[in-house]
Structure 1
């Protein structure tokens, strides 16, 4: 009979021995209670407890946890807006006891503080300021949470306002305002571009006219030099300046007629263009030169008499 109890005793002893050991994972803390009273905190690794006396009351994660809280509130300009606040927190390693025994539902506690701070800060701001000062809201939430949750063994790592969602009608109005503003800016740029094109075109035309005038002046200067050389050549063969000038004019007249005749598609008609026109032109020029010389001589004689007196 006693031999039958030996295997049972050994089996129970083995079970008790195995139950004396337990493993705690990395970044985790185990709370060990003895007869329902706190005994110790065990960290990662293989741990030992007294069977039937000690028990693992619970485990606390030491990892960083993120809680997303969505709050609906009203701004100073009476616009309803939803804010998503992300809170990153963790249990302080040295305060695992406080985190386990002082607070049952940390998520609800943190959510309550986030609601309280956001609904105290946002109603002081206009909608545009909420977008601009979202970091200030996040800092206010973090400061309030740190002061409150430190007592319970929680450290607030960071708070972020990750989303700001105004009412749909307000968003549509904001989009229309932005679109109108961008169209206004585009129109201003287009007007500036058109004005610049007009100014640059006027400058280009002015420069073109200046260069054209300079070219005409250079052309006439060269023509004058050529005429001067032609007169000198004719003077060497006994033709005076008046006759040489008349001859050159008549020659140019017939050269012009010849060049016009070579242009098959030209519609230009030079009047008069009869053979007698050259003779008449030459006579008129000689007469005008003669009259000019006589007037010049008379003026010289009058000037001499005046100086003699």
Structure 2
């Protein structure tokens, strides 16, 4: 009975050693008698017990490796602390097992050295602007070096760039001065625009007032011209009526009577305004004076 149990246990052990179940996105590196034999794919695999052994197990998933913080010196000799995160993936389990002792340690050290080299090429003011360029340079450098390590660098991202406190204070003062300068520029631009708007308003006001004055003068001139024309038309009409009346029977007698009345009226007005009067020599002969005036009227006719 004991022998049977031992045989069963040995058989189970042999079966367990023969059958290897590889999980998804995982690769097992198998050595046969100490030499690389095969890479087991996900699923059920069979090996020879006591001859084959699983030497390495690799995850084929994307890995995120934290790059420790380190001190870098920029091109303008400023020390900054930089850390990041590296994303990689095992694409060749055989090379990842035999190409390097520890590929994670290797890519970490290579990322740090490349970061120091790239940060030394740029000034402190441009470190934040050139993050993308630095990230791409680190990925490219690690890809070239890790070509025999069986891993692929997917991307690298800088997490933090920490300058010294003195530099931070200087940067804060610089940013404050820049903000104050922008505020002054905005204020001066606003004052300039306000002055321009006021001047433009004054200009438009003067133009409108001049146009209004011009329109008023034109209207007044047109009104005066219309009034003069109306008076002239009325005078002409009255003259035509008088001329027509003169042509009628008894018209000249009426003119003679009107002339006599106006002469007497005018001499009467002279007597009211002054004590001294200059009379014509034939003033006593009113008839002759009227006749002289009528001769003028006839000549005009």
Range class of TM-score, shorter chain: 0.5 to 0.7
**1:200 maps onto 2:159 in alignment:** no
Shift of 1:4: 5.1
Distance 2:227 2:156 in 1: 98
SS of residue paired to 1:189: helix
Shift of 1:37: 4.0
SS of residue paired to 2:127: helix
Match of 1:106 in 2: 103
Shift of 1:34: 3.4
Shift of 1:36: 4.1
**1:88 maps onto 2:54 in alignment:** no
Deviations 1:203-223 (A, max 9, x none): 221221222122223223323
Deviations 1:220-264 (A, max 9, x none): 3323433444455556379x9xxxxxxxxxxxxxxxxxxxxxxxx
Distance 1:29 1:166 in 2: 43
What TM-score, normalized to structure 1? 0.66
Distance 2:169 2:193 in 1: 36
How big is the alpha-carbon RMSD for the aligned residues of Structure 1 and Structure 2?
2.8
Deviations 1:111-156 (A, max 9, x none): 2222222223323432123333334433432333223222222222
Choose from 185, 188, 192 the match for 1:191.
Answer: 188
Match of 2:36 in 1: 38
Distance 1:225 1:39 in 2: 118
What TM-score, normalized to structure 2? 0.67
The count of residues paired between Structure 1 and Structure 2 equals 235
Match of 1:171 in 2: 168
Map 1:1-309; keep pairs closer than 5 Å. 3=1, 5-69=3-67, 70-93=69-92, 96-231=93-228, 233=230, 236=234
Unaligned stretches of 5+ residues in structure 1? 241-309
Unaligned stretches of 5+ residues in structure 2? 239-301
CA separation of 1:228 and 1:129: change in aligned 2, threshold 3 A: closer
